[in-house]
Amino acid sequence: MLTRQAQPIAAIATAAGRGAVGIVRVSGASVGPLIHAICARTLKPREATYLPLRASDGSIIDHGIAIHFPAPNSYTGEDVLELQAHGGPVVMQLLLARCLEAGADMQVRVAEPGEFTQRAFLNDKIDLAQAEAVADLIDASTETAARSAARSLSGEFSSDIHGLRDELITLRMLVEATLDFPEEEIDFLQKADAQGQLDGLQRGLATVMQRAKQGALLCEGIKVVIAGQPNAGKSSLLNALAGAELAIVTPIAGTTRDVVSQTIQIEGVPLHVIDTAGLRESDDQVEKIGIARAWGQIEEADAVLFLRDLTRAGQPDYEADDAAIARELAAKLGARVTVIDIWNKADAVEPRAAAGALCLSAKTGAGLDTLRRKLLEVAGWQSAPEGVYIARERHVHALRRVEGHLREAASLLALQANALDLLAEELRLAQNALNEITGEFTPDDLLGVIFSRFCIGK
């Protein structure tokens, strides 16, 4: 009985639904018996061959293209067979069922999400950062994100991480070597310029971290919630930012009772903009549910657009309610979330009441460009520099841990002979954090989480 990891896997590798072409992919230690059963002939390595794809009784399922990628020169590092046929759902299911039937003695099974890429990682075809870039390239919601993911997939991010790791290993070897010669350790470290090496490591880390932060922003974007009293123009602002009529807009207070969301992009950065129910006291049970959901979204936001109605500025009751909302925002969010004060409906009245806040018109679009720039500023975007690679929050968190360990190492190095063993430990921990990014030191449960989010067949 083969272990699950050793069992060959098969899956439909193209999106569900109808298409001109569909692909069924099989990967395992050997796919020779499947080639003989389905193609009734041998295949030249890496050469596309047009032929009938046959059922168990010899009848033809479809005419298509078969390609054999012998190990280790394949995506997974194993033997791979790709069958390309007409992309109808029934044809794809018939081909997949045929692969499972023909490979029953080989224990061929249906692949789990991301299992082909996981095998590529486990067989050292790609590292973990590159594996994640595969999913990020598929999921990219902007052109900039797609280009950055392609750079990560090609190995740019991993190369920078490996460069930092190699410098760190050199410094570790130097420090640990001094522990064997305690009478010479201070002069040894000074002559080898340990301080200069550590300074260089910290500068290199700062550069990588900045690029990774920008890449994580491209990958995940930020969540922006529009909040305010009823009829402030929240739905109109969502429609204006999205450039489409997504939310219903009426003069009736409380029109929006549920969450309406849309992902937009500004300079390639995805922003997940959410319109919410107007915040006010209400006896309407449905509206109360909508208001509760609004506060739930606000508490999970990266930024809140606190929208106010310029036509009602100066009205005591209205401003009192606005002040109450502002206090609750401050109490719930504190300093961790940026709240942008916005006065809407500048097309209707003179914006005299908007001092200290952004003034715009969701109706005419006046002031929207200023808001977009402000959102990019809040997000921390610094105009897409060439070379930004896609990254994830876990990469940024790992780099922050490296930064902390190097900072502690710098303070220990200043103590010289009194703390060399602690210095060596901080450098070891920094290297472990770097290795987690590329998967050279990664808990198995993290691998499970990462690959389970891939699509089946990839």
Q: Annotated binding residue at 316?
A: no
Q: Annotated binding residue at 250?
A: yes
Q: Annotated binding residue at 458?
A: yes
Secondary structure of the chain in HEC code, one letter for each residue: CCCCCCCCEEEECCCCCCEEEEEEEEEECCCHHHHHHHHCCCCCECCCEEEEEECCCCCEEEEEEEEEECCCCCCCCCEEEEEEEEECHHHHHHHHHHHHHHCHHHCCEECCCCHHHHHHHHCCCCCHHHHHHHHHHHHCCCHHHHHHHHHHHCCHHHHHHHHHHHHHHHHHHHHHHHCCCHHHHHHHHHHCCHHHHHHHHHHHHHHHHHHHHHHHHHHHCEEEEEEECCCCCHHHHHHHHHCCCCCCCCCCCCCCCCCEEEEEEECCEEEEEEECCCCCCCCCHHHHHHHHHHHHHHHCCCEEEEEEEHHHCCCHHHHHHHHHHHHHHHHHHCCCCEEEEEEECCCCCCHHHHCCCEECCCCCCCCHHHHHHHHHHHHCCCCCCCCCCCCCHHHHHHHHHHHHHHHHHHHHHCCHHHHHHHHHHHHHHHHHHHHHHHCCCCCHHHHHHHHHCCCCCC
Q: Annotated binding residue at 276?
A: yes
Q: Annotated binding residue at 73?
A: no
Q: Annotated binding residue at 347?
A: yes
Q: Annotated binding residue at 255?
A: yes
Q: Annotated binding residue at 277?
A: yes
Q: Annotated binding residue at 253?
A: yes
Q: Annotated binding residue at 365?
A: no
Q: Annotated binding residue at 231?
A: yes
Q: Annotated binding residue at 54?
A: no
Binding site for Mg(2+), by residue number, is: 235, 256
Residues belonging to the binding site for GTP are: 231-236, 250-256, 275-278, 344-347
Binding-site residue set for K(+): 231, 250, 252, 255
Known binding-site positions: 25, 82, 125, 231-236, 250-256, 275-278, 344-347, 458
Q: Residues forming the annotated binding site for (6S)-5-formyl-5,6,7,8-tetrahydrofolate?
A: 25, 82, 125, 458
